[in-house]
Amino acid sequence: MTFLTSVSGRVLLALIVGLATGAVLQGMNLGSTGGLISIAEAVGGIWLGALQMTVIPLVLSLLVVGVAAVSDAASAGRLTSRAIMWFAGLLVVVIAASLMLYPLVNSVWPVDPASAASLYVGAAGTEAPPPPQAIDFGSWLQSLAPTNPVTAAAENAILPLVIFALFFAFAVTRLPEHQRTLLVSVFDAIADAMIVIVNWVLFVAPIGVFALALTLGLRSGFGSTGAIVHYVLLISSGCILVALFAYPLASVFGKVPLARFARAIAPAQVVAFSTQSSLGTLPVMVERAVDHLNVPERVAGLVLPLAVALFRMTSPVANLGVVFFICHVSGVEPSIGQMIAGGIVAFAVSISSVGLPGQSSFFISIAPICLAMGAPVELLPLLLAVEVIPDIFRTVGNVSADLAVTTILNRSEQVVASDRG
């Protein structure tokens, strides 16, 4: 009952009811449904536009605040700096793996063409996907330095805007403390204001998702169901692989036997599965690390909260998976340059959007990657409705990775201590 009163539950219910209603009306052959489709599409479009209008200011402000937080953490001591280096290095590794593996997976395990077409046509309202865009690498490289950031923002040129935001954020960290504090506070307030707007929009998400799902059902019936199930399995599998990757990480770099690591983290994974919250799992993670992995309390007490605050290893894996799925069903073939752009944006967004609530972070994290890779954002609201299932495995993967990194950093501290001794 609690699930049905949550945002996730209400949005999922709206998707099911909207899709079923549209499919039933289509099957009844009541005549032209063009008028109903136009109304539902307009309602859904207004809701989607309200979400999109927050993307640019929120990404900019979150990057400034996120870089400042990482800079402050890195200056706190050697262990913190090493933790941030491991966080960044692992994010780069999983992003590179995602960019290589998702296109391969889509070619080996493609979505049923009829179901993919039903999903795309039903959501986007066009009969044919856009043709692949050939982008000259030299022009793409030149575009990375925006001559006018305002124009880049107006044109949804997300990668040049992210690069400008990163330069600006790092420049802010070099200012005198009173100026830096003032600017970070301003951008933090802007981010908070944008999140308030996003929460307002998400409050009426069941209406928007119902309208979009109704449109999908009226256009394609239940034909898109297979593609949606495929999406859930694809993203969940990516997150499960991240969780499995934590085991050899702890074994090879943390020198913890696989069986011992598996027994130690299992209770934390159960809590993560049931709560879908890394923060809610934090007390259990600390207890398992200290009592069952022999991590000193000072290490676990620093690294694990820092990991929860700054590090979500499943974020770029799942987010890139969503974008590659959208590209796959819509017929978009991103170029190498666009995939590199998507990877850079995924890295930046994964750090800056860690503190956002799940429903908010889904759209804010993935929409910029869609813009960078040329994928249509119209499918995101429908995928948001079923995100409640992959989100379970996102949390399990994050908790597993957090504990693996903790064992690695504990091992490095032991090596440093023995060298000094």
Work out the average pLDDT over 388-402: 92
Please determine, for residue 329, whether its predicted confidence score (pLDDT) is greater than 70.
Answer: yes
- Residue showing tokens 């709560």: 275
Q: What is the pLDDT of residue 324?
A: 96
Cα angle value 72/76/82 (rounded, 5°): 100
Cα separation of 146 and 163, whole Å? 9
Better-scored residue on pLDDT, 166 or 95: 95
Least confident of 86-95, 357-366, 404-413: 357-366
Q: How confident is the model at residue 21 (pLDDT cuts 50, 70, 90)?
A: confident
Q: How confident is the model at residue 358 (pLDDT cuts 50, 70, 90)?
A: low
Work out the average pLDDT over 400-413: 93
Task: List pLDDT tens digits, range 184-227.
Answer: 899 889 988 888 888 888 888 888 888 888 888 887 777 788 89
Work out the average pLDDT over 7-25: 82
Is residue 158 a contact partner of residue 368, using CB atoms and an 8 Å limit? yes
Q: What is the pLDDT of residue 298?
A: 85
CB-based contacts of 256: which residues, under 8 Å, 6+ apart? 250, 264, 293, 407
Q: What is the pLDDT of residue 216?
A: 81
Q: How confident is the model at residue 399 (pLDDT cuts 50, 70, 90)?
A: very high
Please determine, for residue 420, whether its predicted confidence score (pLDDT) is greater than 70.
Answer: no
Q: What is the pLDDT of residue 42?
A: 85
Q: What is the pLDDT of residue 71?
A: 77
**Rounded percentage of the chain residues whose pLDDT exceeds 90:** 31
Cα separation of 191 and 198, whole Å? 10
Measured CA distances, 200 to 203, 204, 360 (Å)? 5, 7, 10
Ramachandran category for residue 111: left, alpha or beta (phi over 0 → left; psi -120 to 50 → alpha): beta
Reported residue count of the chain is: 421
Task: List pLDDT tens digits, range 98-146.
Answer: 999 999 999 999 998 888 888 877 666 555 555 545 455 555 556 666 7
Q: What is the pLDDT of residue 416?
A: 63
Q: Sketch out the chain's domains with CATH numbers.
A: 53-174+222-420 (1.10.3860.10)
Cα separation of 407 and 411, whole Å? 6
Q: What is the pLDDT of residue 137?
A: 55
CB-based contacts of 53: which residues, under 8 Å, 6+ apart? none
Q: What is the pLDDT of residue 90?
A: 95
Better-scored residue on pLDDT, 298 or 240: 240
Q: Which two tokens stand for residue 65?
A: 């605040």
